[in-house]
Amino acid sequence: MFKNAYLEKVYGEVAVRSAGEPEFLQAVREVLESLETVVERRPELEKWGILERICEPERFVQFRVSWVDDAGRVQVNRGYRCQFNSAIGPYKGGLRLHPSVNASVIKFLGFEQTFKNSLTGLPMGGGKGGSDFDPKGKSDMEIMRFCQSFMTELYRHIGQFTDVPAGDIGVGAREIGYLFGQYKRITGEYSGVLTGKGLSYGGSLARTQATGYGLCYLVQEMLSCMKGDGFAGKTTVISGSGNVAVYACEKAQSLGAKVVAMSDSNGYIYDPDGIRLDVVKQIKEVRRGRIREYLEEVPGAQYHEGCRGIWTVPCDIALPCATQNELDEESAAALIANGVMAVGEGANMPCTLEATRALQAAGVLFAPAKAANAGGVATSGLEMSQNSLRLSWTFEEVDARLKEIMTGIFHNAYDASRECGCEGNLVVGANVAGFLKVADAMLAQGVAY
Ligand SMILES: NC(=O)C1=CN([C@@H]2O[C@H](COP(=O)(O)OP(=O)(O)OC[C@H]3O[C@@H](n4cnc5c(N)ncnc54)[C@H](O)[C@@H]3O)[C@@H](O)[C@H]2O)C=CC1
Ligand SMILES: O=C(O)CCC(=O)C(=O)O
């Protein structure tokens, strides 16, 4: 699998130590496969055990979260925080609430976050957390009690200078508000300990839009530099209908794309006239309903059960924005057969390794998640800066910085791919560029013995 013996050894050790953690091993393998030329050029990486260290979280906390439901019954969930790497700044990364959350998922997300945060150019280490709690169907009071109980343990592990969580799947402004309130209640401290906060208590303008907008800024730059093209006039398919998907749709449409399909975990809608985002926002952001309800407002659209079918919808640009491994080799084959031109990963690791390889081999432009969805955490970094300065920047100011950061990430990854001898392979480029900054900081900081 690896040409280089050091990479083979490191991956073998991780595979033994993390047996039973498939998502984590998938993420590690993808990064290590990108580092062949780097380890050849930099023997000090092996001497100082950088790869062994970078693949092992600095700290992994697992805890019980007990809370009382509306019927007065005690419920128990499992909470996690993985503090993966603090070489370039305090741990930073979201919290995910979803029944599929386990140690493997949290570790893969924390590992990816380390390199993604490095690519933003901002001083943030990598972390991730969450719980197997399922927010679907829970009342507002149940969500509040869960968040308060979760923070009652989490607060001792986080802080504005140590670890700054934010949202992810199942965690939006409402949950961040409950988490922040409980942190403040327990510690008596008013600080930028979380990002994605409401605007009335320290949140940043444009954080809500940032991941989706940022994805489109990077894809637009990739299309422009690598194909002399852009979103204008392109048929686009976006999976998911949560935070990332909704704002990717908004920006793609404003850049002239025609978005024809979106989905949730039950199925997808196809609207040949172009998705009406006001309807999707009403369903998802206001009513917290299901995507099939779109047909009540737009009877001319179609609804199909099952979410993978969305990749059979013909399109020029595909933006997977739902969850990990949602786009497999079969889906990639369908996209290629329909002439897809570019894929931009809005979700974390939405394409399987096989799907990524197939798309790249077919000459499809491919923007990997670490680069493409870094706009969310980059804007969280800007929220931290504003909190420290006790200032709020305008929407236009934050959006302009976001755009600059995303175009910078594209060029950084592109240049790194050229230096590695595989010009245009942004998977390799993003992994190498993200890795080198973290590795150099680890080398500079030494190893304790
Ligand atoms: N919110 C953020 O700022 C960032 C999020 N991400 C990633 O983007 C992805 C989406 O996150 P959010 O939009 O924040 O979550 P969200 O909770 O707002 O939305 C998730 C959406 O995906 C749908 N979904 C779940 N499983 C699905 C499946 N198998 N097929 C189709 N739809 C499915 C859900 O119904 C929901 O509409 C995740 O991978 C997350 O880690 C990455 C960077 C930043
Ligand atoms: O805004 C943040 O801190 C984290 C965003 C996130 O979870 C991600 O980039 O996957």
Ligand index nearest the alpha carbon of residue 350: 1
Indicate whether residue 243 lines ligand 1 (CB < 6 A).
yes
- Is 170 close to ligand 1, i.e. is its CB under 6 Å away? yes
User: What is the per-residue pLDDT for 78?
Assistant: 98
pLDDT at 449: 76
Domain 1-56+424-449 has CATH 1.10.150.120: no
pLDDT for the residue 1: 79
- Specify the residue with its C-alpha closest to ligand 2, atom 3: 93
Q: Is a pLDDT exceeding 80 seen at residue 401?
A: yes
**Rounded Cα distance, 54 and 445, in Å:** 13
pLDDT number for residue 218: 99
Identify the residue whose C-alpha is closest to ligand 2 atom 6.
Answer: 94
- Same CATH topology for 59-190 and 209-367: the answer is yes
Q: Which element (helix H / strand E) includes 33? A: helix 22-33
Q: Is the CB of 212 under 6 A from ligand 1?
A: no
Mean pLDDT of 337-348: 98
Q: Are strands 91-97 and 125-131 parallel, antiparallel or unpaired?
A: parallel
Architecture of domain 59-190 in this structure: 3-Layer(aba) Sandwich (3.40)
Q: Is 383 in the pocket of ligand 2 (CB under 6 A)?
A: no
Residues 6+ apart with CB under 8 A from 187: 155
Residue from 80, 91, 377 to probe ligand 2 pocket by mutation (most atoms less than 8 Å from CB): 377
pLDDT computed for residue 151 by the predictor: 98
Q: Is the CB of 195 under 6 A from ligand 1?
A: no
- Residue 380 beta carbon below 6 angstroms from any ligand 2 atom: yes
Report pLDDT digits (tens) over 253-289. Answer: 999 999 999 999 999 999 999 999 999 999 999 999 9
Q: Say if residue 307's pLDDT is above 90.
A: no
What does the DSSP 8-state code read for residue 291?
Answer: G
- pLDDT over threshold 80, residue 197: yes
Look at ligand 1, atom 35, and give the residue with the nearest C-alpha. 264
Task: Name the band, by pLDDT with cuts 50, 70 and 90, for residue 39.
Answer: very high
pLDDT at 22 > cutoff 90: yes
| pLDDT value, residue 387 | 98
Q: What is the pLDDT of residue 448?
A: 83
**Domain-wise residue ranges, the chain:** 1-56+424-449, 59-190, 209-367
pLDDT of 72 over the 90 cut: yes
**Is position 130 annotated in a ligand binding site?**
no
Please name the fold of domain 209-367: Rossmann fold (3.40.50)
CA distance 389 to 323: 35
pLDDT at 406: 99
- 167 marked as part of a ligand binding site: yes
Q: Which long-range contacts (CB under 8 A, 24 or more apart) does 289-296 make?
A: 290/264, 290/266, 291/241, 291/262, 291/263, 291/264, 291/266, 291/267, 292/266, 292/267, 294/269, 295/269
User: Burial letters for 397-425: b for 16+ Cβ neighbours within 10 Å, e otherwise?
Assistant: ebbebbbebbbbbbebbbebbeebebebb
Measured by CA distance, the residue closest to atom 2 of ligand 2 is: 377
The set of catalytic residues is 128
Q: Is the ipTM of this complex over 0.85?
A: yes
Please give the number of the atom of ligand 1 that sits closest to the Cα of 326: 29
Q: What is the rounded average pLDDT of the residues 105-114?
A: 98
Own/partner contacts of 411-414, CB < 8 Å, gap of 24 or more, are 411/221, 411/225, 412/119, 413/119, 413/371, 414/225
Instruction: Establish whether 116 is an annotated binding residue.
Output: yes
How much is the pLDDT for 257? Answer: 98
Query: What integer pLDDT is reported at residue 130 of this predicted model?
Result: 98
% of the chain surpassing 90 pLDDT: 99
On whether 92 is known to bind a ligand per the annotation, the reply is yes
